């Protein structure tokens, strides 16, 4: 079976530094795949290439059959990408923030209303609907950004460095979604063909963690 995420011979250089050196990937539909490595291993560069934010110097990658080189817009339609540093619009309310991005994807108004309510419940922010984004804690902002990543019901989800700051540890399994919520919303919002989860395990962070016990 052809993988939903495929890469062949990916190479990316920054001046004389080789960040990605001939990477091959073949990730099957439904697979949870992790990239684990120290600082400078090329993890974020790889994700940025897959997310069409960087063009590889050599090689190519496909997301759901669309080339990141030749068909970047087709890739973006089926891809959700949550970077390690995320932007929020402080002068917007929580529901307005999601509505803005849903409009960008051309989602009709009636569907947007239902989707926003469902996503906010999914990430445990239903009670924060009318709160301004700047009034949320950092952890809540991260959950809001995850909801933003899901507004267009992507086939592939890329999460970059979600562990720092306790993002993973703060949430229950499946990022804080209780079993009841998971059953209620999984059919609609977790029809993701793939979760590509980048876990940061930098050497310095690991040593710091070990030294703190």
Mean of the per-residue pLDDT values of the chain: 77
Distances (CA, A) of 38 to 10, 126, 143, 161, 205: 19, 36, 25, 12, 9
All domains of the chain, ordered by start, with CATH?
Answer: 5-211 (3.40.50.300)
> What pLDDT does residue 56 have?
95
pLDDT in tens, 121-164: 888 899 999 999 989 988 888 889 888 988 998 888 888 865 43
pLDDT in tens, 57-89: 999 999 999 999 999 999 999 998 988 776 667
The pTM of the whole model exceeds 0.85: no
Asked if 130 and 94 count as a contact pair (C-beta separation under 8 A), the reply is yes
Measured distance CA(206)–CA(16) in Å, rounded: 28
Using CA of residue 2, residue 3, residue 4, residue 9, what is the dihedral sign? negative
């Amino acid at each position: 079976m052809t993988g939903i995420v495929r890469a062949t011979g990916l190479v990316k250089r920054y001046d004389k530094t080789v960040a990605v050196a001939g990477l091959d990937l073949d990730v099957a539909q439904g697979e949870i795949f992790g990239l684990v490595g120290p600082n400078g291993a090329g993890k974020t560069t790889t994700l940025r290439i897959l997310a069409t934010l960087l063009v590889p110097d050599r090689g190519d990658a496909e997301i759901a059959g669309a080339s990141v080189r030749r068909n970047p817009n087709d890739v973006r339609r089926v891809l959700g990408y949550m970077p390690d540093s995320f932007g929020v619009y402080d002068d917007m309310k929580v529901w307005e923030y999601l509505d803005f991005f849903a409009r960008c994807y051309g989602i009709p108004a009636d569907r947007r209303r239902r989707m926003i309510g469902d996503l906010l419940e999914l990430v445990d922010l239903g009670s924060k609907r009318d709160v301004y984004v700047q009034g949320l804690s950092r952890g809540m902002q991260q959950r809001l950004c995850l909801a933003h990543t899901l507004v267009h019901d992507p086939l592939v989800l890329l999460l970059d460095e979600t562990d720092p700051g306790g993002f993973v540890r703060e949430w229950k399994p499946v990022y804080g979604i209780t079993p009841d919520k998971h059953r209620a919303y999984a059919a609609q919002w977790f029809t993701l063909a793939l979760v590509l989860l980048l876990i940061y395990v930098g050497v310095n962070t690991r040593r710091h963690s070990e030294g703190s016990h």
